[in-house]
Amino acid sequence: MRNQDQLEDRECAASIHASPDDSPRMRKFAEKIRYGRTCRRIDYWDFIWLFYSAFFFVEPISRNTRHDWTLFAVFYAIFLAFYTGIILSRYPWQSYLGLIGFAILGAIYYPQNNGAVGCSVFAAAFLPFLTESLTVCLSGFALLCTALITEGILLHTSPWAWGMGALWTFIVGGTNLFMAQRIRANSKLQLAHEEIEQLAKMAERERIARDLHDVLGHTLSVIVLKSELAGRLIKGDPSRASREMADVEEIARKALGEVREAIRGYRAEGLAAEIRRAHSTLDAAGVTLICEENPLVLNPTEETVISLVLREAITNVVRHAQASRCVMRFVTQNGKTSLVVEDDGRGGVREEGSGLRGMRERIEALGGRFAVDGTRGTRLTIELPTN
């Protein structure tokens, strides 16, 4: 009874993930899972289970008196009202009232029709889909069976009638309890999978954004610098201006490849290539680079991160520092690999922009430390643990 439509669950979860920051909707979805109503539409197929109410007709048909049929008509009308109310209910408390109504209705009609024990069976069938608490479900089954047995004994009815009613109450309730728990588990697992997928997509978007910022920020800065230099040299030194413009063309073409690599999963060319690029970039900007280079032993991931961080650091020197001198040092000691980039520019870094924040995130993702000191010029310190 009340089988879940898994396709509708996935559609609902997908609609929620379309706006991952909308926490009220996520809380609402979680609440519906908690009550076993995994964001599905009303399933009118649940009315098919009224087939089992045929047992209510047995005694009225066998007696076939106007009195019995009149009582049965009243009983069955109220039963259908409770059943429909549970199917169409929007809130758990409405369904709980329907279950209580089933139990009371069955107790009242039982002296006239032993088939009314079916009301307890219907109540036990619905209960597991209204709460995920095993204690509540088992207590509800026990209470329904106790009420059946007690009423049967007090009315001196056949033990066969109330015994079979109690037995089927536990069988149907227990079966639906197992089904409901499995459906909830599948729904939560599906939601967890979609949540992981959504987080993975967000992380990938952030990675691409950082890579594009690092790649394009540096490349466009170099293009601007070389274009300005060529403009100044075009009258006094046309041949060098031509070479600078040729460099601009080459850099622009290379930028296209770097963007494609960033989207696929950017891998830096290596630290040595990045140092050479830093020399070229700073030279074009009129900044002297002093590189106190020591051989570093880095794995591919660390080398990629250090290269990208170095690229962003050099881009910041060119863009913002107004420096004439830049010093770069690599040190390996005390179980740590360090990179220090400092300039003699204006300093005064007060808050992190997207570039510095991206650098920090990259380093901290590897368990390292990133520090910025803008007191005298700007000093970036990057430390990575040595494996």
Question: Concatenated DSSP letters for 191-229?
Answer: HHHHHHHHHHHHHHHHHHHHHHHHHHHHHHHHHHHHHHH
Backbone angles phi, psi at 314, to 5 degrees: -65, -40
The two structure tokens encoding residue 345 = 């520019």
Distance CA 320, CA 297 (A): 31
Query: How does strand 288-292 pair with strand 325-333?
Result: parallel
pLDDT at 189: 77
Rounded to two decimals, what is the model's pTM? 0.44
267: exposed, middle or buried (Cβ count in 10 Å: 0-12, 13-18, 19+): middle
pLDDT in tens, 320-347: 888 899 999 888 877 788 889 999 988 8
Quick one: three-class SS letters along 270-295? CHHHHHHHHHHHHHHCCCEEEEECCC
pLDDT at 326: 92
The CATH number of 270-387 is 3.30.565.10
Distance CA 173, CA 165 (A): 12
pLDDT at 109: 87
pLDDT in tens, 131-146: 888 888 898 889 888 8
What's at 375, amino acid-wise?
A: T
pLDDT at 74: 92
What's at 98, amino acid-wise?
A: G
pLDDT at 78: 92
Domain ranges of the chain: 6-200, 270-387
Length of the chain: 387
Distance CA 16, CA 9 (A): 11
Distance CA 119, CA 144 (A): 10
How many other C-beta atoms can be found within 10 angstroms of the C-beta atom of residue 254? 12
Distance CA 379, CA 340 (A): 7
Distance CA 310, CA 327 (A): 12
Whether the CB-CB separation of 152 and 166 falls below 8 Å is answered with: no
Closest of 176, 107, 96, 97 to residue 144, by C-alpha = 107
Distance CA 77, CA 303 (A): 76
Segments in the chain below pLDDT 50: 1-41, 265-267
pLDDT at 17: 39
Looking up tokens 């199917």, which residue turns up? 87
Q: Detail the DSSP E strand segments found in the chain.
A: 288-292, 325-333, 336-343, 369-373, 378-385
pLDDT at 294: 65
